[in-house]
Amino acid sequence: MSGLDDSVQNLIKSAQLDQIAARIASCEVCTDLCRAATNPVPGEGYPEADIMFVGEAPGAQEDREGRPFIGASGKILAEMLSSIGLTREDVYITNIVKYRPPNNRDPLPAEIKACLPYLLEQIEVIQPKLIVLLGRHAIAVFFPKLKISQAHGQAIEHTYEQAGQTRQQLCLPLYHPAAALYNGSLRSTLSEDFAQIPAILAAIDSTS
CATH number at residue 126: 3.40.470.10
Identify the bridge partners of residue 94 per DSSP, sorted by sequence position: 54
If you write DSSP's letter for every residue of 83-144 in order, what string do you get?
HTT--GGGSEEEESSSSPPGGGPPPPHHHHHHHHHHHHHHHHHH--SEEEEESHHHHHHH-T
pLDDT at 162 over 80: no
Amino acid (1-letter code) at residue 152: H
Q: How confident is the model at residue 88 (pLDDT cuts 50, 70, 90)?
A: very high
Q: Which domain holds residue 79?
A: 2-207
Q: Cβ contacts of residue 199 below 8 Å, gap of 6+? A: none
Look up the pTM and report it.
0.94
Q: How confident is the model at residue 146 (pLDDT cuts 50, 70, 90)?
A: very high
- Containing 2, the helix (H) or strand (E) segment is helix 2-25
Q: How confident is the model at residue 5 (pLDDT cuts 50, 70, 90)?
A: confident
Farthest-apart Cα atoms in the chain, separation:
50
pLDDT tens for residues 90-142? 999 999 999 999 998 999 999 999 999 999 999 999 999 999 999 999 999 99
Mean pLDDT, rounded, for 25-29: 89
Q: Are 36 and 111 in contact (CB under 8 A)?
A: no
Write the burial class of residue 20 (CB in 10 Å: 0-12 exposed, 13-18 middle, 19+ buried): buried
pLDDT tens for residues 28-40? 887 889 888 999 9
Instruction: Count how many domains the chain has.
Output: 1
Q: Where are the beta strands (DSSP E) in 39-82?
A: 44-45, 51-55
